[in-house]
């Protein structure tokens, strides 16, 4: 079941983020509360009564300090930025990530947003993320190196209904 995240989910979300922190930035509960307040979309996926995945996304103009978000915010007029998506190790391969991404594209279409944007690691490489995003029509629109040496591929995918208007 995919639904909007609630404050009662935050402890589970922080734990999920910690599990995948090597791909993401750190996020404690106070940081999550701050991000949730700015988010255009904050979804969780429940499986067997527990939060097994989450996704945070932001619209343009948010006061978000992420260098990847800022890259898009200086180049795109309207977008929905996927900041992070995490699926628990127990639920990987079950389609929860795809279900969350469909929720993002549905939100973008409903809000008449022309594209969904995100990034994934290329140094060190994250081949699974590359394949996943290609399946949703994402293409590279830039690259940048982050403090600490990690490099990311900046990606964008059109939202069909918005493009057709």
Could you give the percent of the chain with pLDDT greater than 90? 70
Stated length of the chain: 165
| Residue 97, SS3 per DSSP | helix
Contacts of 125 (CB under 8 A, 6+ apart): none
Indicate if the pLDDT at residue 22 is higher than 70. Answer: no
Contact 104, 80 (CB under 8 A): yes
pLDDT band per the 50, 70, 90 thresholds, residue 53: very high
What pLDDT, on a 0 to 100 scale, did the predictor assign at position 164? 41
Q: Rounded mean pLDDT of 38-65?
A: 94
**149 or 135: which leads in pLDDT:** 135
Place of tokens 């690691």: 121
Q: Report the pLDDT value the prediction gives residue 161, as an integer from 0 to 100.
A: 55
Encoding tokens for residue 106?
Answer: 């549905």
Q: What pLDDT sits at residue 125?
A: 86
Highest mean pLDDT among 20-29, 88-97, 139-148: 139-148
**Residue of 120, 125, 128, 122 lying closest to 156 (CA atoms):** 120
* CA–CA–CA angle 35, 41, 47 (5° rounding): 100
**Domains of the chain, residue spans:** 2-164
* 103-128 per-position pLDDT tens digit: 999 999 999 999 999 999 898 888 88
Give the pair of three-digit tokens for residue 12.
């589970």
Chain centre distance of CA 85: 5
Please, which residues bridge with residue 16 across strands? none
CATH number corresponding to 2-164: 3.40.630.30
**How much is the pLDDT for 48?**
84
Q: What is the DSSP letter of 149?
A: S
């Amino acid at each position: 079941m995919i639904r909007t995240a609630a404050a009662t989910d935050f402890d589970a979300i922080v734990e999920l983020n910690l599990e995948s922190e090597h791909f993401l930035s750190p996020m404690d509960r106070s940081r999550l509360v701050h991000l949730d307040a700015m988010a255009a979309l904050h979804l969780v996926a429940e499986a067997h009564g527990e939060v097994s995945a989450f996704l945070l996304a932001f619209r343009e103009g948010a006061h978000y300090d992420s260098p990847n978000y800022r890259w898009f915010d200086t180049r795109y007029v309207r977008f929905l930025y996927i900041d992070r998506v995490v699926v628990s190790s127990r639920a990987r391969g079950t389609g929860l990530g795809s279900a969350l991404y469909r929720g993002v594209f549905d939100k973008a279409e409903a809000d008449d947003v022309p594209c969904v944007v995100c990034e994934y690691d290329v140094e060190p490489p994250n081949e699974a993320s590359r394949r996943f995003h290609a399946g949703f029509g994402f293409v590279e629109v830039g690259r940048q190196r982050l403090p600490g040496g990690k490099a990311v591929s900046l990606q964008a995918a059109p939202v069909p209904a918005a493009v057709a208007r």
